[in-house]
A and B are shown apart, each in its own frame.
Chain A
């Protein structure tokens, strides 16, 4: 590529700038988690592990973490079932309305989070008159998590040659057996990756959650509620470190599982979008 040496250096500079911009804030929060003083001034005067113990003892944060795990697990299971079914239907054959199905699956991500949140809130309260709580959070999260499972399984099914299933059936396996013994093992890592991403998406989500949560708190909502309490900030910093780790570890694992398909890094722009709305 005909690019002058000076231009190359400018582009390197721009790359470094963008990376520094992306990482410095995250590093600052991590550093503050070890801050020995209660107040959050810069520069930090000394380091300590003290707040990690205090954070583990904080019942509010623990309850919120527990709530987030339950919601994430529920949403992941629902998304796994629905996303896989949809991917199998769409990849299997062409049918009338096939494009509408993929559109429908992406829609909760394409619309701003307040719209999805408001819509569910209005329906729960005004139509079904149900109490907001764990169940409504799971319904909300599953709605926008379906797409990541769908993306991963659909990408895998596209790569999967239909002849292996046909071979199994020629050899006498029924539909159930060929699914259990052939399709499922070949899809396993894509399913695990999709599930991990769905969990990460749910674990992180805050906007739709604020409309479906009722009186409880998920971890992001606990953080949001506590950032305006100066006394709580040392504990918030530690919880923040946990929140980063708990959302990045599943994503990293999912990336390792589906490297050839690139659904984590490539399709992530679309898929990750809604969670952060």
Chain B
């Protein structure tokens, strides 16, 4: 058999690809197609059973319900604010790693940033729940200055998302900055540019694709999350509505329709990020 295959590279390829493509191309893409079609199904008003008749009822419901519009707006706004906060926090450490740290220090910092990324997601959210609660660490520390923490709510979701996705922003920016040759910065200085000007005209143009690449993660991950809002606020995000409709409300078609919104938003976001050169920086 092996010899027969050896002479037929196409058959070889087909055999190698059958499993992965069968799983992802047929089963996974198929499920996505089911989800897309399910968005056009409806719920029978009397029995509460899913009826496989196609129609635009769910999208009509989404468009006509002010609460849903508010939730979409809020999710997108917080995703944007998380992205901005992460970019601001990530830049100094990424720059330090790429341009100042010794090779040994750089290695340590890379591991130091990667480990929290892999540490249990739910534990990290729970940690913040402990920290933000009324008698928690944050209020206790801020109490010294006579200030109170944000408690649970929209601000808490912003803070926790910023925390959770920070490594996803640091790594691409670090990789992007590392690609800038030191000699380029030296040349800019030798030609008389002030450090500020070098930063604006040499560093930034080369850092923007990297920031855009990192922002894909911070934005998309916030858009799709519903656990964090559930644990540190009673604020509703897109994901919370989807989850509630799959479970408690048992309205799969409406949930499916709502789940298409983050996909559409992400398609536009990716198109924008591509114009900034994000894909070359990934």
Contacts and interface: CB of A to CB of B under 8 A. Distances in A.
Given A83-B20, A107-B28, A118-B259, A125 B224 contact: no
Interface string A6-39: 0110111111011101110110110010000001
A227 to B, nearest CB: 5
Contacts, number: 298
B271 interface: no
B252 A126 contact: yes
B133 to A, nearest CB: 7
Contacts of B131: 25, 28
Nearest to A118: B259
B24 A107 contact: yes
B184 to A, nearest CB: 10
Contact of A248 (B3, B29, B115, B188): B115
Interface of A: 1-4, 7-8, 10-15, 17-19, 21-23, 25-26, 28-29, 32, 39-43, 78, 81-83, 85-86, 88-89, 92-93, 95, 101, 104-105, 107-108, 110-116, 118-123, 125-127, 139, 142-143, 146, 174-176, 200, 203-207, 210-211, 220, 223-224, 227, 236, 240, 243-244, 247-248, 251-252, 255, 264-266, 268-270, 272-273, 275-277
Given A15-B93, A78-B23, A270-B282, 10 more contacts: A1-B100, A41-B135, A118-B256, A119-B34, A127-B34, A220-B120, A255-B111, A264-B114, A265-B171, A269-B168
A143 B282 CA distance: 22
B226 A114 contact: yes
A116 B140 CA distance: 40
15 contacts: A1-B182, A2-B189, A15-B97, A19-B112, A28-B127, A85-B17, A101-B20, A111-B266, A127-B34, A207-B226, A227-B129, A251-B115, A268-B114, A269-B214, A269-B217
Given A22-B166, A204-B118, A206-B227, A122 B38 contact: yes
B160 to A, nearest CB: 9
Given A4-B195, A119-B34, A276-B221, A247 B118 contact: yes
B172 interface: yes
Interface of B: 2-3, 5-6, 9, 12-13, 16-17, 19-21, 23-25, 27-32, 34-35, 38, 50, 89-93, 95-97, 99-100, 109-124, 126-131, 133, 135-137, 139-140, 163-164, 166-168, 170-172, 175, 182, 185-186, 188-189, 195, 198, 214, 217, 220-221, 223-227, 231, 238-239, 242-243, 246, 252, 255-256, 259, 262-263, 266, 282
Closest 7 CB pairs of A and B: A112-B224, A14-B92, A89-B16, A86-B20, A25-B127, A2-B189, A119-B35
A273 B92 contact: no
Max chain B C-beta neighbours (<10 A), residue from A1, A120, A122, A227 = A122
Nearest to A222: B122
B171 A269 contact: yes
Identify whether the interface residues of B are mostly helix, strand, loop, or mixed.
Answer: helix
A250 to B, nearest CB: 9
Contacts of A112: 220-221, 223-225, 239, 262-263, 266
A273 B189 CA distance: 38
B96 A12 contact: yes
A11 B195 contact: no
A10 B92 contact: yes
Contacts of A139: 27
Contacts of A10: 92
B35 to A, nearest CB: 4
Contacts of B188: 2
